[in-house]
Amino acid sequence: MSQPKPEQLVQIQYGPQPRDWMDPAVEFRKGTFCYSALAKNLNYLGLPNARDWQPFDEDWKLPPDWKRIILDGMKERLEKFRSFRLFMDICVRCGACADKCHFFLGSGDPKNMPVLRAELMRSVYRRYFTLAGRLLGRLAGARDLTEDVIKEWFYYFYQCTECRRCSVFCPYGIDTAEITMIGRELLNLIGCNINWVLEPAANCFRTGNHLGVQPHGFKDSVDFAVDELEELTGIRVDASINRKGAEVLFIVPSADYFGTPHYYTFLGYLALLHEIGLDYTFSAFASEGGNFGLFNSHEMIKRLNAKVYAEARRLGVKWILGGECGHMWRVLHQYMDTMNGPADFLEVPVSPVTGTRFEHARSTKMVHICEFTADLIHNGKLRLDPSRNDHWTVTFHDSCNPARAMGLLEEPRYILRSVCNRFHEMPENTIREQTFCCGSGSGLGTDENFEMRMRGGLPRANAVKYVHQRHGVNLLACICAIDKATLPPLLEYWVPGVEVAGVHELVGNALVMRGERPRLTDLRGEPATQAEAVHA
């Protein structure tokens, strides 16, 4: 037989066959899904159907009555959450959301269009909860609930970072993230959950933070940071833990005192709060701002969030200050008050330095550190030397939750413009409310899911690349702990040469502290580029 010519070889049809979206079969390819939750974590949290299984197994070992459980669960939630029923009913499939999801943009997979992602559940809703669907079946866009549908839900509801970008564009305000949340809740009922969500949740339940750091470990970390800050600035700060009677309880995401580049932001907080003399304390039991319950179920959000108020009460503080975290603020703004509030035992936050009363926080009693710092700067209470950040050309990534769930758009920008000289925005349709997700939020930032994360992060990285090439941007600032963990690998892949930092790291660099010795380095310990100006 003669050798086939190259052009004959390529006659093979590689392209995917056009498929009906109703066909639920999915392929669990390595790199594109998260591993299942370990049985020990389910047991710890008292969740059902703990067992050994993986998404790529043929048999998911569902409970025998899994179908009834899911349908009952749907029924219950349709009654409990009016929004859920509305979202199931009112979509007109106009397609305005279709091309707004970063996972769709990075993968080209139509089931990552928000409208289709929601349709995966809506079709089941129609089949079992509407007359037309019961009678007409597929004709009415209804599908039977099968094991394959469960697998498909798992695949696509854990391929949505609950970023809510799509909801910004929906004329009816349908929030696909909420549908994803319900989807994950239902999957939870039959034990289909991922470890990257449940392990942090279990840890948080046990020790008060996602990493499972125990109180003495927490203290070690804080002490270590205090030592290092002294080495860098010559100033010894007092960072108290569990101190009763402090005015303010300060809650940060645990990555701030464990991971990098978060840690430098932590140093920035310590420097700032010392300089203004805030009477604050950390809690070793509510040592986590984040809330992985958000990626699991409403019940779990409530359980984990309750610790924050419990500790505020125990320590007898007046109000709560929160660090740079993403979903912590989503929980705070959208759920905390209803679930565990109102926090009547606390006072409406007032900045002891400027006298500003944070009216918007009068119910939750919790203020974002960017709001707090912006107020300090606005009132001229900080001495800042932005030239200390001259080695950075900065852009700002609006983290999904602070931007879209709490509208924190101006404060971080105001701070950045005050603490650095070189700042450039990314293109308009990629920032503020329209910001693109890091691609790894909502518990999807796992190693095994790396490829999918790179796809989902492409639109974000692409905008960073633009300002990197055009303005020489070499630092992406952000105010979310997940971002600080997941943007560095994203940029390492797509835009090498751009680093990631928290806003308060840059504040810490620029902050001129009373009695400090000349700064030879920035908070990262990298040599200061400029000759240190005299700050007498």
Partner 1 sequence: MESKELIGEAWFERVLRAYPPQGAKFLGTEPDPFRNPAGHTIRQALRTLLDELYQDMDRDRVTQALDSLMQIRAVQGVAPSLALEFLFQLKEIVRAQAGGADWDLMNGRIDDLALIAFDLYMKYRERTYEARANEARRRVFLLGRRLMADAPPAWPERGGR
Output DSSP code: residue 292.
G
Among the candidate windows 165-173, 328-336, 444-452, 499-507, which touches ligand SF4 by CB under 6 A? 165-173
Angle, helices 369-378 vs 503-510, to 10°: value is: 30
Phi, psi of 423, rounded to the nearest 5 degrees: -140, 130
Residue 339 touches which of partner 1, ligand SF4, none (Cβ within 5-8 Å per kind)? none
| Residue 160 makes contact with ligand SF4 by CB under 6 A | yes
Write the binding mask 480 to 499 for partner 1: x where contact by CB under 8 A, - elsewhere. -----xx-xx--xxx----x
What six digits make up the tokens of 182? 């319900």
- Decide whether 81 or 494 has the Cβ nearer to partner 1: 494
The DSSP call for residue 334 is I
Alpha carbons 188 and 357: distance in angstroms, whole number: 41
Q: Binding to ligand SF4 by residue 477, rule CB under 6 A?
A: no
Residues in contact with partner 1, shown as a per-residue x/- string from 46 to 75 under the rule CB under 8 A: ------------------------------
Contact yes or no for 315/246 (Cβ under 8 A): yes
**Residue 15 touching partner 1 (CB under 8 A):** yes
Q: Is the dihedral of CA 115, 296, 40, 50 positive or negative?
A: negative
217 contact partners, CB below 8 Å, separation of at least 6: none
Q: How far is the CB of 86 from ligand SF4 (least distance, A)?
A: 11
Whose CA is closest to 192, among 343, 408, 33? 33
C-alpha distance from residue 48 to each of 42, 206, 317 (Å): 7, 18, 38
Nearest-approach distance from CB 23 to partner 1, in angstroms: 12
Nearer to ligand SF4, 282 or 295 (CB): 295
> Within positions 210 to 269, which residues make up the interface with partner 1, using CB under 8 A?
220-221, 224, 231, 255, 257-261, 263-264
Q: Which of residues 112-141 bind ligand SF4 (CB under 6 A)?
A: 114-115, 117
Residue 110 interacting with ligand SF4 (CB under 6 A): no
As a whole number of angstroms, the distance between CA 386 and CA 389 comes to 6
Rule CB under 8 A: say whether 459 interacts with partner 1.
yes
Provide CB contacts within 8 A for 193, sequence distance 6+. 36, 37, 42, 47, 184, 187, 296
| 173-232 positions binding ligand SF4, by CB under 6 A | 174, 176-177, 180
Among ligand SF4, partner 1, none, partner that 103 touches (CB below 5 to 8 angstroms by kind): ligand SF4
Check residue 21 for interaction with ligand SF4 (CB under 6 A).
no
Judged by beta carbon distances under 5 to 8 A according to partner kind, the member of partner 1, ligand SF4, none in contact with residue 164 is ligand SF4
Per the CB < 8 A criterion, the answer to whether 96 and 170 are in contact is: yes
Binding mask 433-452 for ligand SF4 (x = CB under 6 A): ----x---------------
Distance CA 413, CA 411 (A): 5
> What is the three-class DSSP state of 384?
strand
Residue 532 found at the interface with partner 1 (CB under 8 A): no
Which three-class secondary structure string do you get for 87-104?
A: HHHHCCCCCCCCCCCHHH
| Binding partner of residue 321 among ligand SF4, partner 1, none, CB cut-off 5 to 8 Å per kind | none
Phi then psi for residue 314, to 5 deg, are -60, -40
Shortest CB 310 distance to ligand SF4, Å: 31
Extract the tokens encoding 350: 């007032």
The rounded distance, in Å, linking the Cα atoms of 517 and 512 is 10
By the rule CB under 6 A, 93 interacts with ligand SF4:
yes
Please state, in angstroms and rounded to a whole number, the distance separating the CA atoms of residues 57 and 28: 9
Count, residues in the chain: 536
Instruction: Give the residue, chosen from 151, 164, 365, 484, that forms a contact with ligand SF4 under the rule CB under 6 A.
Output: 164
Question: Could you say which of 97, 255, 426, 431 contacts ligand SF4 (CB under 6 A)?
Answer: 97
Q: Closest approach of Cβ 24 to ligand SF4, in Å?
A: 18
- Token pair belonging to 6: 């190259």
CA dihedral 489, 389, 480, 465 (to 10 degrees): -40
Where do contacts with ligand SF4 occur on this chain (CB under 6 A)?
Answer: 91-97, 100-101, 103, 114-115, 117, 160-166, 170, 172, 174, 176-177, 180, 437
Where do contacts with partner 1 occur on this chain (CB under 8 A)?
Answer: 6-7, 9-10, 14-16, 18-19, 29, 31-32, 98-99, 104-110, 113, 220-221, 224, 231, 255, 257-261, 263-264, 427, 429-430, 447, 450-451, 454-455, 458-459, 462-463, 466, 485-486, 488-489, 492-494, 499, 521, 524-527
